[in-house]
């Protein structure tokens, strides 16, 4: 038995349904129209990727705004783990606020307001930390005379000074 014979044996004839002519009158509705409260179903993988990008963009924006508003000098004084924890918490809260807006029927709901208040609280915390470091920074040391060089100028010019510079013999000029 060859391969082509086996393939022909495995084929079965499907019975064809007889064609039914539609009855006179309006066509039947198969689906009811969607209600105004229904949302389109979003693909969760795309949402996760969008939230991830939003998180990284929020981190970049947080550090940029913090250095511009609070001052890079003050931001340099803050310990790295304080800056990192504040920025991560702020970015996480912003993403959770966005997800609460997307996943509910109304954009501003109780969950959105809760995460918005978390964003505000963390921004106030970062402001307070920056201000505390501003108040407790080490002041610049004033200029002291202990390590500086002193120069003395003689305001009286020697009358023979031009003769020393200009030699009498101009042979080498």
Q: State the Cα–Cα distance between residues 170 and 166, nearest whole angstrom.
A: 9
Q: State the Cα–Cα distance between residues 120 and 126, nearest whole angstrom.
A: 10
Task: Give the CA diameter of the chain.
Answer: 131
Residue 140: its pLDDT value, please? 72
The lowest-confidence range among 20-24, 119-123, 151-155 is 20-24
| CA nearest to 58, candidates 119, 127, 106, 124 | 119
Domain extents in the chain: 44-135
Confidence of residue 82 (pLDDT cuts 50, 70, 90): very high
Q: Which residues contact 129 (CB under 8 A, 6 or more apart)?
A: 78, 82, 86
Model pLDDT for residues 2-33, shown as the tens digit of each residue: 655 555 555 555 556 556 555 565 555 555 55
Residue 114: its pLDDT value, please? 96
Residue 66: its pLDDT value, please? 92
With H, G, I as helix, E, B as strand and everything else as coil, classify residue 166: coil
- 147 versus 78: the higher-pLDDT residue is 78
Residue 95 in contact with residue 55, Cβ under 8 Å? Answer: yes
């Amino acid at each position: 038995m060859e391969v082509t014979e086996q393939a022909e044996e495995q084929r079965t004839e499907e019975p064809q349904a007889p064609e039914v002519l539609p009855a006179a009158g309006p066509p039947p509705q198969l689906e009811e129209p969607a209600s105004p409260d229904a949302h389109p179903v979003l693909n969760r993988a795309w949402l996760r990727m969008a939230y991830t990008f939003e998180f990284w963009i929020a981190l970049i924006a947080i550090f940029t705004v913090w250095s511009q508003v609070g001052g890079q000098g003050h931001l340099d004084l803050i310990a790295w783990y304080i800056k990192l924890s504040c920025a991560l918490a702020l970015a996480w809260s912003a993403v959770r606020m966005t997800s609460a807006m997307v996943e509910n029927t109304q954009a501003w709901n109780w969950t959105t307001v809760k995460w918005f208040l978390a964003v505000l609280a963390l921004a106030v915390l970062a402001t307070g930390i920056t201000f505390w470091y501003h108040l407790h920074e080490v002041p610049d040391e004033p200029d002291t005379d202990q390590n500086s060089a002193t120069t003395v100028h003689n305001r009286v010019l020697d009358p023979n000074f031009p003769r020393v510079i200009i030699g009498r013999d101009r042979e080498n000029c």
